[in-house]
Structure 1
Amino acid sequence: MKKRMMKKIAALALSAVMALSLAACGGGGSEAPAGGGDGAEADASSWEWERKVTIVCPWGVGGGADGTLRPLQTVLENELGVPVEIVNVEGAGGANGVNYAYKQPADGYTYMLGTQSLIMLDLQKILPMDFKAEFIPVSKLVHSILIVGSSAKAMEGKFTNFDEFIEYAKAHPQELSCGMLTATGADSVAMKQTLAGGLGCDVTEVEDYVKIVSYSSGSEMSSAMAGGHIHISISGVDEIKGLIDSGDIVPLISLSEERMSSYPDIECTGEKGIDSYIGTWRGIFCRTDTPAAAVAAMDEAIKKAWESEDYQEFLKNANYLDREGYQTGDDFQTLIDEEYVTFEEYLKGAGLM
């Protein structure tokens, strides 16, 4: 299984290099800037925090994205020495929040939480700006393993595990419902890759077997799962841990090469030969022309906050430690570039680009 993963990573890296080479030869597309707007060597020590810092969350209160920021807020305030305000601007799959952050001054005091969903929005030209040109990553916070879970109420009498779900879906086309945050977002890619692997069909044919139901927030989707209104959904384990522990959600499969250390009884895509390993990352972004010193100072503060005892306890309890979490902006950019290639291939294959 590890060999297969290494081959996949190598293929992604090669694709990324080819894509960058084409861009350098005039093939179109924008390159992500390497640093803050002043173009100078970033010197975190030269930046002094003088007033409140705002972090925009493009998704609703109570969801996984928001839940990653809340535990960081207090420890980050301690590092910065100024208040940190989280502003939730939800809607349009994250586009509203990105547009809001884009309209704020690039003065070092406004940042934004981002996920893969923003890559999908950018590739589909849904955002009102060129995201790669207008935003840069500051720090990656978490990279969770996604889980396909089932509503305990909705699954009763129909299936008890992933294989039985697949067989039921084949025998009863479009009877089962599948919840996603955005029908064309990163979670959609992950879910459709997983179901297609199990069903033995193309990702474009998954909706022949299950009904897709889109939700505007993770909390709304979790409520639907707990109430038995949909059969399955895909989420980071952090978002549904409480419902797993309460028995309202039954985990069916994790999107990972190997079983999770925190949930060793959950089957994984790797052991079933399903090529689906996308996990949800969340990180901090800022406008490209933000002062480089501010970007460096924020990254430095985030790293210290991330390493704090309080945030490490949150990461442990939310099952975020199975994959590398914190990364600097440069390392984070490498991951982002790879996923641009992956998601562009998916969207083109699905006829969405």
Structure 2
Amino acid sequence: MKKKWLLMTALVMMLVLAFAGCSKPAEEPAAPAEPAEGETPAATEEFKFDRPIELIITFGPGSGTDTTIRALQPALEKELGVPVKINNKEGAGGVVGAEFYANQPHDGYVFAMYTPSHIIAAINKTVNFDIFNETIPVARLVHDSNVLLAGTQVPYSTVGEMIEYCKANPDYVPSVGMMSIQGIDGVAAGQLFDEIGIKANFIPYASGAEANAAIMGGHTDMVLTSPFDGKAFVDSGDMKAIVLLAEQRGSTLPETECTGELGINAYIGPWRGIVAHNGTPQEAIDALAAAIERADADPEWNEWKQSVGLTDRPGFAGPEEFGQVWTEYYTIMEDLLAN
């Protein structure tokens, strides 16, 4: 009996050991496969435009906004891989174009170009929609300056001389021509004359050519324009550059004093940027912003910017930075327009 019991015990032990040998411990989860040498992990595929996109330009052909986008157009089309159709919708300081854009499909294939004039329109409520809150900044392209030019008939050649002349002749009110009294031109000129304590008469003109003709004909004392547009008249001796509204002297008119060196707090200048409207797919906005940033490195685009004095101030700004500019300008303009 004892032998039989020992035999059964041995058999049980053998079965236990056999079962244990066949069992396997729980396996650890497999580690992700490492990419082979020279490979990179797969990236999320970027949104691709598959048909032409349209840009609503809210000012007319030949305007600073129009010439800027046409200079960038070849590089941008190369980066996008599709044509860029430019559609000018001018009028009312950019309001006509903005209202037209607001009524277009926001499917990621229609965008617009705005300037600080659209911030002013938001503050003055001259548009029929909430342009400030319904606009999505995509990318700022350039940041220009303004220069005050005078006709050869005026008895001063610098801003200091103008101040002294106005003090000595209190009945004299200088006249200043511009294309947008209710837009960025009016605010920029208003800031300058408020800072120097001189009352001026602002006169609207339909075009830069009309404003320049009024200066040379002696009908208007001064005109507010871009340094590039003004350079030809200064070089020819038909006008005098009074002051550049900028922190530093510009490359286009290096002999002209700037408000920064004179301690005059008047620096407002027109930036030009591409925007989207609420409802535009985020992936399309991101893809366009990325293409603009790549296009901004194009040599021909940069050569053009330098030739027209658009490298004096930092230009390109992506969505986040441009969004900050969009908000900051609203605060600045709101304060200036309240005075």
> TM-score surpassing 0.5?
yes
Residue 132 of structure 2 aligns to a residue whose secondary structure is: helix
Q: Equivalent residues in 2 for 1:270-349 (5 A)?
A: 270-349=260-339
Query: How far off is 1:308 after superposition?
Result: 0.3
1:84-143 Cα distance to aligned partner (Å, 9 max, x none): 121111111110010111111101111111110100000011011101222111100001
> Equivalents in 2 of 1:220, 1:89: separation in Å?
20
Which residue does 2:201 correspond to in 1? 211
**TM-score, normalised via structure 1 length:** 0.77
Q: Equivalent residues in 2 for 1:155-166 (5 A)?
A: 155-156=152-153, 158-166=155-163
* 2:311 counterpart letter in structure 1: L
1:116 equivalent in alignment to 2:113: no
* 1:52 counterpart letter in structure 2: P
Runs of at least 5 residues in structure 2 that lack an aligned partner in the other structure: 1-42
Higher gyration radius (CA): 2
Does the 8 Å CA contact 2:252/2:308 hold for their aligned counterparts?
no
Aligned residues: 296
> Equivalents in 1 of 2:129, 2:154: separation in Å?
48
Query: How far off is 1:238 after superposition?
Result: 3.3
* 1:148 counterpart letter in structure 2: L
Which residue does 1:36 correspond to in 2? none
**TM-score, normalised via structure 2 length:** 0.80
Does the 8 Å CA contact 2:227/2:253 hold for their aligned counterparts?
no
Q: Tell me: CA distance 1:137–1:157, structure 2 relative to 1, closer, same or farther (3 Å).
A: closer
Q: Tell me: CA distance 1:157–1:127, structure 2 relative to 1, closer, same or farther (3 Å).
A: closer
Query: How far off is 1:223 after superposition?
Result: 4.8
Decide which structure has greater helix share: 1
> Equivalents in 1 of 2:133, 2:326: separation in Å?
13
Runs of at least 5 residues in structure 1 that lack an aligned partner in the other structure: 1-42
Does the 8 Å CA contact 1:138/1:286 hold for their aligned counterparts?
yes
1:46 equivalent in alignment to 2:46: yes
Does the 8 Å CA contact 2:77/2:83 hold for their aligned counterparts?
yes
Which residue does 2:246 correspond to in 1? 256
Residue 284 of structure 1 aligns to a residue whose secondary structure is: strand
Residue 100 of structure 2 aligns to a residue whose secondary structure is: helix
Q: Tell me: CA distance 1:57–1:247, structure 2 relative to 1, closer, same or farther (3 Å).
A: farther
* 2:338 counterpart letter in structure 1: K
1:62 equivalent in alignment to 2:62: yes
Query: How far off is 1:253 after superposition?
Result: 0.7
Query: How far off is 1:230 after superposition?
Result: 2.5
Residue 257 of structure 1 aligns to a residue whose secondary structure is: coil
What is the identity percentage for the equivalent residue pairs of Structure 1 and Structure 2? 35
Does the 8 Å CA contact 2:251/2:312 hold for their aligned counterparts?
yes
Segment of structure 1 superposing worse, 287-296 or 241-250: 241-250
